[in-house]
């Protein structure tokens, strides 16, 4: 792959300057849609985090109410949950995702499942949810903090929210290389873990588990790191893409080093005595 092949094509570029929310959502969907066929082959980190999150949920006391996987994609998280808690398989968690190509590869999706834009909130049928789970999805929404608050408000009294996502502090090598090259860092800006925890508690949730985990892939140069993310379909950003000269400078300053993620695992409960409204 040449350096210039990593520059987004016309369909990936914003029309002018920074893209608007609808354009960003389209590029998120298109990015994952193009890579849907190979997503799970590339998503080792997502699979590992899904298993950890499922483990946190394996013995939770659940009230009556629906269960849903928000940003389910190919169903990695729900499958990890069901492997550790088979009793939740009938019916399986509702699968919600923006990308139809990923849902088409999700074995838990029935014929009535349609793409759902989580930026629009949750379906009314999920109000009073017993369990909402989500992994590597919240960071792709226009306003992660606002949607997190809405997810918490949708829980039934005694209901649970189990969440994992990469947070600020990830991709430090990319950011350092951009600074050294004097070019903008075009990585997706990620929310701060502390801010998300504050949102969850402000929404009236009781934190039962909050942990930041560090993960890394083997030392990669800049080209290999960007190819890895492109292989997942995780290429959309609110930042405009770099031009060819900027990209060459970025790669020239990118050391061969691990690509690192900081991942927040959050488990929270709406108190059983909370008002159902």
- What are the boundaries of each domain within the chain? 20-170+190-221+261-269
Residue 132 has pLDDT above 70, yes or no: yes
- State residue 191's pLDDT score: 96
Q: What is the DSSP letter of 129?
A: E
**pTM across the whole model:** 0.88
Q: How confident is the model at residue 14 (pLDDT cuts 50, 70, 90)?
A: very low
Q: If you average pLDDT over residues 27-48, what whole number do you get?
A: 93
Q: If you average pLDDT over residues 98-118, what whole number do you get?
A: 90
* 24 close to 136: Cβ distance less than 8 angstroms: no
Residue 3 has pLDDT above 90, yes or no: no
Residue 272 has pLDDT above 70, yes or no: yes
Q: Which residues pair with 166 in a beta bridge?
A: 263
Q: CA torsion 196→201→205→210, rounded to 10°?
A: 50
Residue 157 has pLDDT above 50, yes or no: yes
Can you point out the beta strands (E) in 16-147? 67-70, 94-96, 129-135
Q: How confident is the model at residue 239 (pLDDT cuts 50, 70, 90)?
A: confident
CA–centroid distance for 9 within its chain: 24
Give the pairing of strands 129-135 and 67-70: parallel
Give the pairing of strands 168-171 and 257-269: unpaired
* 11 close to 77: Cβ distance less than 8 angstroms: no
Q: Which residues pair with 132 in a beta bridge?
A: 68, 161
Q: How confident is the model at residue 112 (pLDDT cuts 50, 70, 90)?
A: low
Residue 5 has pLDDT above 70, yes or no: no
Average pLDDT, the chain: 89
Residue 12 has pLDDT above 70, yes or no: no
- State residue 124's pLDDT score: 94
Residue 6 has pLDDT above 50, yes or no: no
Residue 1 has pLDDT above 60, yes or no: no
* 33 close to 256: Cβ distance less than 8 angstroms: no
- State residue 110's pLDDT score: 79
Residue 17 has pLDDT above 80, yes or no: no
3-state helix, strand, coil in the chain (%, to 5): 40, 20, 35
CA angle, 100 as apex, 99 and 104 as ends, to 5°? 125
Residue 145: both structure tokens together: 């903090």
Q: In the chain, what percentage of residues exceed pLDDT 90?
A: 82
Q: Which residues contact 274 (CB under 8 A, 6 or more apart)?
A: 157, 204
Q: If you average pLDDT over residues 141-163, what whole number do you get?
A: 97
- State residue 268's pLDDT score: 98
User: What CATH code would you report for 20-170+190-221+261-269?
Assistant: 3.40.50.150
């Amino acid at each position: 792959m040449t350096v210039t092949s990593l520059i987004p094509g016309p369909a990936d570029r914003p029309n002018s300057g920074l893209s608007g929310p609808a354009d960003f959502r389209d590029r998120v969907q298109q990015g994952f849609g193009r890579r849907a066929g190979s997503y799970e082959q590339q998503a080792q980190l997502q699979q590992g985090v899904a298993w950890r999150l499922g483990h946190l949920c394996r013995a939770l006391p659940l009230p009556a109410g629906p269960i849903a996987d928000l940003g389910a994609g190919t169903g990695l998280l729900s499958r990890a949950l069901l492997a550790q808690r088979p009793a939740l398989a009938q019916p399986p968690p509702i699968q919600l995702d923006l990308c139809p190509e990923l849902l088409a590869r999700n074995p838990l999706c029935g014929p009535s499942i349609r793409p759902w834009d989580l930026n629009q909130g949750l379906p009314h049928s999920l109000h009073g949810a017993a369990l909402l789970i989500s992994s590597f999805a919240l960071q792709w929404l226009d306003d992660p903090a606002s949607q997190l608050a809405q997810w918490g408000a949708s829980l039934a009294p005694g209901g649970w929210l189990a969440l994992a996502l990469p947070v600020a502090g990830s991709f430090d090598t990319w950011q350092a290389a951009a600074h050294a090259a004097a070019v903008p860092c075009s990585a997706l800006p990620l929310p701060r873990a502390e801010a998300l925890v504050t949102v969850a508690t402000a929404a009236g949730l009781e934190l039962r588990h909050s942990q930041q985990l560090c993960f890394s892939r083997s030392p990669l140069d800049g080209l290999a790191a960007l190819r890895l993310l492109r292989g997942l379909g995780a290429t959309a950003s609110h930042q405009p893409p770099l031009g060819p000269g900027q990209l060459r400078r970025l790669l020239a300053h990118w050391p061969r080093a691990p690509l690192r993620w900081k991942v927040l695992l959050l488990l929270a409960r709406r108190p059983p005595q909370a008002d159902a409204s």
